[in-house]
Structure 1
Amino acid sequence: MTRRSDVLVLGGAGVDTVIHVPELPLPLADSYMIDSGIRTRAGQTGDFVALGLTALGLDTHHLDLLGDDPEGDLVRALHHEHGIALTALPQPAGTKRAVNLVAPDGRRLSLYDTTRARPGDRFPEAALRELATASRHVHVTITQPCAAALPVLRETGVPLSTDLHDWDGENPYHEPFAHAADLVFLSAAALTDPERTMRRIAERGRAEAVVATAGAEGAYLLVSGELSRIPAVTPPAPVVDSNGAGDAFAAAFLYGRLAGEPPERCARYGAIAGAHACTVPATRAEAIGRAALLARAAGPNP
């Protein structure tokens, strides 16, 4: 019998190679000397959401396809180190990987290796259904093959969330995720009119709440047709890397939601966790804990 969990995180397991560059865009040159080193570590969007949820005390299970390769070993080791339950299904194409170029101000450019997936990849329906029904909530990343899993997940009746990341509001790949989820996160970075896109998501899909993060400008929250602004939170230390900030926001928002907090409070948690993530170097896997989150949320200016 499958053990009960608070959240099932679906997809988004992989490995990043992190390179700190002098600036972005990076000017064309024959070569650059990288004095800070080039490091490869486990941690893509699903890994970071699972890590954030676990640090906040939620029982988390992560399901994805992993290769029998060194990258897969890094992902398995990360989950083992942090006590995150992992169901890793075989992926002959190999474990997902990316290269992250990080500027001195913390901005990031990610290069994703699309060869680490195959069009016919699927999660076995029986395993997917069993893990979903044993969870209070399912967070679905937009990595392959999660889109094909959406109909099964909706049949289970378990609440769903997803993160559309830097969706431009037009790319059709993201639409099934946007319309199937009860809670939708996305970045406002590629949106000319965040409110318009958020309202379209709510009108065309099932979302009870839509959140668009906007970096140093805070976030937008749409609930029951009412749009509000969530103020940004001052990071507790210098900003070194924005990688994982959106995942941290989503994890902390979900923590609040599962604790029965109102959406505005959940978004405040998200802003605090996202600000904390920006102070963590990309070479480390570290998320804010529950005590620190609640302490900062209780202060007048977290």
Structure 2
Amino acid sequence: MNSPPRIALIGECMIELQQRADGSLQQSFGGDTLNTAVYLRRELGDKSVVDYVTALGDDSFSDAMCQQWSEEGLGLSRVQRLPGRLPGLYCIQVDARGERKFLYWRNEAAVRDCFTTPTAGPILAALPTYDVLYFSGITLAVLGEAGRQHLLESLVEARKRGASVVFDNNYRARLWTSVEAARAAYRKVLTQVDMALLTEDDEHALFGYADSEQVFAAYPAIEEVVLKRGAEDCLIRCAGERFAVPALKVETVVDTTAAGDSFSAAYLAGRLKGGTPEQAARSGHRLASRVIQVPGALIPRDGIPVAAGE
């Protein structure tokens, strides 16, 4: 792109509690698309426009979230503040190998009404004006059926106007009434996706795909499919070509929270800056390798690696 892209990321941010070894809790904020938005903004720099689209309450935690996002350079004009509502909350418990267990309190979260309130109209109308729209499987789950339909309509209009739609599959079974409901919702939006950032384990859990070949075969119409496989090679199909890009080995994994979110951010940033899929994937692996060595979803700003050649 010749001019800095305007990007809107749609989803949920929650109050995050990180359980320490002594049983105490450290409070911060996190959510898959919010994590990606922060890392994307850091990767693209000051000239980019990265807006976050969500709904919050009118409480002090929501105030603090907005303050933090503003400090990170995210645009807040698409954030609704709903009177009397609250954000969701989750707690991260990490085992000796750095693997995560999540406990959630989110049923009454404000984001569930993000696209169904009277104030949502102007936001939905604005979405097709962006260059890139980004959302995840968790976005689909928390929006509910009516919200998903409004999102789908915005995606269709956005693509008519030349926007790119980016989707991270992030399937969480506990957020859905059934696997059949999740499959139906995913299949509707996947028809409007230009870049799919897929985690192989999630594709297996949701659709039963046994391997990468089945995943790639399932999405013949999506121009760019990126298959994230944890510590294994990332597999990419783009413009009819296939690539495998090895992950970086990390001696000590502290916390894998936001590993996939940060990879997605750096990959998308690399592509928006004109990099090849291989270059973008290497950037994704570098950032993810740093993120998993620090507790919590968002590492300090000075912990961001500099991409090769910059």
Shift of 1:284: 4.9
Percent identity between matched residues is 24
Q: What's the CA shift string for 1:125-158, capped at 9, x where partnerless?
A: 432332541x321111332326331221221221
Q: Give yes or no for the alignment of 1:72 onto 2:62.
A: yes
Match of 1:175 in 2: 187
Shift of 1:9: 1.0
Shift of 1:225: 4.2
Match of 2:294 in 1: 280
Work out the CA distance in 2 between the residues paired with 1:263 and 1:288.
26
Match of 2:154 in 1: 152
Residues 59 and 137 of structure 1: CA distance in aligned 2, closer, same or farther (over 3 Å)? same
2:136 to 135, 138, 141: 141
Residues 17 and 195 of structure 1: CA distance in aligned 2, closer, same or farther (over 3 Å)? farther
Q: Give yes or no for the alignment of 1:101 onto 2:116.
A: no
Shift of 1:234: 2.8
Residues 199 and 287 of structure 1: CA distance in aligned 2, closer, same or farther (over 3 Å)? farther
Work out the CA distance in 2 between the residues paired with 1:61 and 1:45.
15
Within-5 A mapping of 1:1-302: 6-20=6-20, 34-35=21-22, 37-56=24-43, 57=45, 58-86=48-76, 87-91=78-82, 93-117=85-109, 121-122=114-115, 124-133=120-129, 135-142=130-137, 143=139, 144-145=142-143, 147-148=148-149, 149-157=151-159, 158-166=163-171, 171-172=182-183, 173-190=185-202, 191=204, 192-200=210-218, 202-203=219-220, 206-235=221-250, 238-282=252-296, 284-286=298-300, 292-295=305-308
Work out the CA distance in 2 between the residues paired with 1:136 and 1:264.
23
User: Is the Cα–Cα contact under 8 Å of residues 258 and 298 in structure 2 kept in the other structure?
Assistant: no
User: Is the Cα–Cα contact under 8 Å of residues 37 and 52 in structure 2 kept in the other structure?
Assistant: yes
Q: Structure 1 stretches of 5 or more lacking a match?
A: 21-33
Work out the CA distance in 1 between the residues paired with 2:248 and 2:122.
42
Shift of 1:179: 2.9
Cα RMSD (Å) of the superposition?
2.8
Work out the CA distance in 1 between the residues paired with 2:298 and 2:135.
24
SS at match of 2:101: strand
SS at match of 1:220: strand
* TM-score under structure 1 length normalisation: 0.80
Residues 99 and 289 of structure 1: CA distance in aligned 2, closer, same or farther (over 3 Å)? closer
Count of equivalent residues: 275
Shift of 1:40: 2.0
- Which shows bigger deviation, 54-63 or 83-92? 83-92
User: Is the Cα–Cα contact under 8 Å of residues 255 and 266 in structure 1 kept in the other structure?
Assistant: yes
SS at match of 1:110: strand
Work out the CA distance in 1 between the residues paired with 2:41 and 2:113.
31
SS at match of 2:12: coil
Work out the CA distance in 2 between the residues paired with 1:214 and 1:75.
31
Which runs of 4 or more aligned residues in structure 1 lie more than 4 Å from their structure 2 counterparts after TM superposition? 117-121, 166-170, 287-290
Match of 2:207 in 1: none
Structure having the higher helix fraction is 2
Higher relative contact order (Cα pairs below 8 Å, separated by 6+ residues): 1
Q: Structure 2 stretches of 5 or more lacking a match?
A: 174-178, 205-209
SS at match of 1:83: coil
Work out the CA distance in 1 between the residues paired with 2:107 and 2:189.
22
Shift of 1:167: 6.8
- Which shows bigger deviation, 244-253 or 78-87? 78-87
